Amino acid sequence: MQDETIPTIRFPDGTEAPALGQGTWNMGENAAEAKREVESLRAGLDLGTTLIDTAEMYAEGGAEQIVGEAIRGRRDVFLVSKVYPWNASRKGTVEACENSLLRMGTDRIDLYLLHWRGNHPLAETVEAFEALKAAGKIGAWGVSNFDTDDMEELLAVPSGANVAANQVLYNLARRGIEFDLLPWCQQRNIPVMAYSPIEQGRILHNPELIRIAKANQATPAQVALAFLLERDGVIVIPKTANAARAAENRDAVSLDITDEDWAALDAAFPPPTRKKPLEML
């Protein structure tokens, strides 16, 4: 085990956040699971994975309520939430944000994202985001599921260049963004948030990943997370409702994978050789 510290990412406005955070999709769906979900998020917070990613979509506000419970009385949290595309009008964005704040029992979302592109003009959504920022209700705003051409379009609208992050599907089995979107964002210092970083558990059975994990006295999930944490400007947000796994995921930052293992990962999960449209889950 090497360095224990969680690396940080610097947003365009200079704010820093941990490069390893916690997702919340599927939380808040089932009251019987609520206690476990809150405990797992709190365990992660205690271990320094203080960036929490949620959305008004998750359990239709239920996940934000779980987050609210987990962060109650705590200040050491970097909160990310998202607006539904069909709410992302000039007025609807502000209302959606206020509802999210109420559900989480907080007065500020650190990073507020457009969940995916919808029918409201980007200029309108950006205007609403900028108004929320001026009112202190959000710290910064960004987007999710935007491919390179969407990002180009965004930069062309007034204040569009204030985009602070793009959250996209990125893991060993989904490396398409390495061809152009990831370098495009890195060149502009726009952090990329890698969602479904362990492919919702599906890649953990890959024999090569299991072999590399064993060789490093690590778990397949840790290798999958370390693969992403190695990249510049990438924030990784695994979801777990299990406190032991929250600790396991957190320890991925201590993994030191050899060059030989990186080559084996490239062979098992080849990087893209041409542009592929951005995938979504």
Ligand X SMILES: NC(=O)c1ccc[n+]([C@@H]2O[C@H](COP(=O)([O-])OP(=O)(O)OC[C@H]3O[C@@H](n4cnc5c(N)ncnc54)[C@H](OP(=O)(O)O)[C@@H]3O)[C@@H](O)[C@H]2O)c1
| Binding footprint of ligand X on the chain (CB under 6 A) | 23-25, 53, 115, 144-145, 167, 195-201, 204, 221, 237-242, 245, 248-249, 281
Nearer to ligand X, 14 or 240 (CB): 240
Find all residues with CB under 8 Å of 172, minimum gap 6, and list them.
Answer: 199, 203, 206, 209, 224, 227, 265, 268, 269
Nearer to ligand X, 195 or 227 (CB): 195
Q: At its nearest, how many Å lie between ligand X and the CB of residue 57?
A: 8
Q: At its nearest, how many Å lie between ligand X and the CB of residue 188?
A: 20
Q: At its nearest, how many Å lie between ligand X and the CB of residue 260?
A: 24
Nearer to ligand X, 244 or 273 (CB): 244
Q: At its nearest, how many Å lie between ligand X and the CB of residue 134?
A: 25
Strand pairing class (8-10; 16-18): antiparallel
User: What is the distance between the alpha carbons of residues 119 and 41, in angstroms, rounded to a whole number?
Assistant: 34
Nearer to ligand X, 87 or 136 (CB): 87
Is-contact 229 19, C-beta < 8 A? yes
Show the tokens assigned to 18: 């941990």
Q: Which of 58, 112, 170, 195 is catalytic?
A: 58
To the query of whether residue 84 is one of the catalytic residues in this protein, the response is: no
Nearer to ligand X, 14 or 213 (CB): 213
Q: At its nearest, how many Å lie between ligand X and the CB of residue 37?
A: 8
User: What is the distance between the alpha carbons of residues 96 and 113, in angstroms, rounded to a whole number?
Assistant: 11
Is-contact 109 100, C-beta < 8 A? yes
Q: Which residue is nearest to ligand X (CB)?
A: 23
Which sequence positions are flagged as catalytic?
58
